[in-house]
Amino acid sequence: MIELRGLHRFFGATRAVDNISFEVYRGQVFGYIGPNGAGKTTSMRILATLDLPNAGDALVDGFSVVDDPDRVRHRLGFMPDFFGTYANVNVREYLDFFARAYRLRGDDREAAIRRVMDFTRLDGLAEKPIDGLSKGMKQRLCLGRALIHDPAVLVLDEPAAGLDPRARIELREMIRALADRGKTVLISSHILTELAEMCDVVGIIEQGKLVAVGTVEEIQRQGQTPQNLVEVRLLDSVEPLGNWLARRPDVSQLHLDGQAARFFHAGAPDAEADLLKAMIEAGFRVVAFGTRRRTLEDVFMQVTQGLVQ
């Protein structure tokens, strides 16, 4: 449903998008991750036919954003990271305006407005001026605007920015519900924990280049031995344990803090059990030993270098 083919977009000497290629299939939620200035919004603007690539192409439902922009616009809903409001316009009038812009007429337009207001739970705010809405309600309204013509593909640029925890949870539930209905969703966000729970596929971009792509589990394993984060707490000073761990080839990224040590350990659960046993046999008085799988945040920090352009 979404395909980027060797996409390039340059602004002078800045390579905002540098040979990006990936695919997103029907019903998938694709998380687009990267630091500020990495090229996420530029890619999304090209998909939304708001910008043109210098080279390469982007396709939505098989139609090129370069050759068939009108067909793309009828198949895609775009939710920007910031959208303007209009004075003296209420929620229903706002949705009605965009329904008319998509050439919906008569009963079809009324049905579309009711459908969107029901899905975004804006029914009770139909007559409320949009400049008086909370941030969370404005985000719902912007999502409703993107859905008004019932597109097959949604491109959402930082939809959870500035939302309170409840609003973020509700937005996440809406996005998953849309995917369950067969919508294809490309979403960018800086809240990586939420993307890990929400997304089927993730792409990580830095300095305009795609540095990793795949499911969250695939990216967690990409180019590395599976590792868990291990946290150990002792009764005594942790310095001797740090020296002991530093000599082990299966330990990396060791950090010491008072009586605690944190590090990544390569190996299966039985290897972690052997590691704990070896610690105790070496005379270290362990009072806590715990492991957790590497998170998307851990992987993001590993595959990116914090570079900007």
Check which CATH number belongs to the domain holding 252 and give it: 3.30.70.100
Quickly state the pLDDT bin for 35 (edges 50, 70, 90): confident
User: Alpha-carbon distance 136 to 169, whole Å?
Assistant: 11
* Residue 51 lies inside a defined structural domain of this protein: yes
Stated pTM of the model: 0.80
Quickly state the pLDDT bin for 224 (edges 50, 70, 90): low
Inter-residue long-range contacts of 124-128, CB under 8 Å, 24+ positions, other chains counted: 125/91, 126/90, 126/91, 126/92, 127/90, 127/91, 127/92, 128/90, 128/91
Res 264 pLDDT > 90: no
* Residue 158 lies inside a defined structural domain of this protein: yes
Res 223 pLDDT > 60: no
Last residue in a domain, options 215, 249, 277: 215
Considering the domain architecture, whether residues 70 and 19 belong to the same structural domain is answered as yes
Mapped onto helix, strand or coil, the DSSP state of residue 291 is: strand
pLDDT per position as a tens digit, 98-135: 999 999 999 999 999 999 999 999 999 999 999 889 88
Considering the domain architecture, whether residues 118 and 195 belong to the same structural domain is answered as yes
* Residue 222 lies inside a defined structural domain of this protein: no
Q: What is the pLDDT of residue 14?
A: 93
How many separate domains does the chain show?
2
Q: What is the pLDDT of residue 68?
A: 97
- Of 62-71, 173-182, 271-280, 288-297, the range with the lowest mean pLDDT is 288-297
- Of 7-16, 163-172, 191-200, the range with the lowest mean pLDDT is 191-200
Q: What is the pLDDT of residue 307?
A: 65
* Residue 267 lies inside a defined structural domain of this protein: yes
| % of residues, the chain, pLDDT over 90 | 70
Considering the domain architecture, whether residues 55 and 192 belong to the same structural domain is answered as yes
* Residue 309 lies inside a defined structural domain of this protein: no
* Residue 221 lies inside a defined structural domain of this protein: no
User: Alpha-carbon distance 193 to 166, whole Å?
Assistant: 15
User: Alpha-carbon distance 235 to 285, whole Å?
Assistant: 6
Considering the domain architecture, whether residues 39 and 181 belong to the same structural domain is answered as yes
The predicted model gives 141-166 an average pLDDT of: 93
Considering the domain architecture, whether residues 42 and 76 belong to the same structural domain is answered as yes
Considering the domain architecture, whether residues 252 and 163 belong to the same structural domain is answered as no
| CATH number, position 208 | 3.40.50.300
Range of the domain at 241: 227-303
∠ CA 181-41-307, nearest 5°, is 125
Last residue in a domain, options 180, 215, 250: 215
Considering the domain architecture, whether residues 210 and 254 belong to the same structural domain is answered as no
